[in-house]
Amino acid sequence: MSPSVVTMVAGLAVAVVAVGPAEAACIAGAAECPIVVRMAPGSDTVTLAGTLAQNRDCCAYALRVRAGQVMTWRVTGPAIRTTIAYPDGEADGPGLPAAIRLPESGVYVFAVRPNLMADGAFGRFVLTITIR
């Protein structure tokens, strides 16, 4: 895979961008290779789908936002754990509130992982993110 691949998903530009020294071994959706999400012009909501599987690092999404915006999210599917990495390198999770005020401008990485402490941790999920 090339370091940058762009696909269209339901009118949404989704780019997989390799970051760091292991670009050749980049696994799309892994924390070190998040899927870059750009919302369609005029939209503040995006719906993403993925599959959580055993022994597979998935699904991290990179979103560029402005300071003070609020991200809300909801997911349907298997039992999950969520984390968010801030532009300054700090992180929260696992487990996040459904609405998060984003304190600084930059790229945030929101990740969905299987909740290995719960039954039904694997399978297809649908994630909806709104940023206002």
What does the pLDDT look like over 59-112, one tens digit per residue? 999 999 999 999 999 999 999 999 999 999 999 999 899 999 999 999 999 999
- Return the half-sphere exposure (C-beta side, CA atoms, 13 A cut-off) of residue 56: 13
- Could you tell me what percent of the chain has a pLDDT over 70? 81
As given in the structure block, the two tokens for residue 36 are 């870059």
In CATH, what number does 41-131 get?
2.60.120.380
Structure tokens at 126: 């649908």
Write out the two tokens for 40: 């369609």
Chain mean pLDDT for the chain: 82
Strand (E) or helix (H) holding 131? strand 123-131
**What pTM, to 2 d.p., does this model score?**
0.78
Contact 57, 76 (CB under 8 A): no
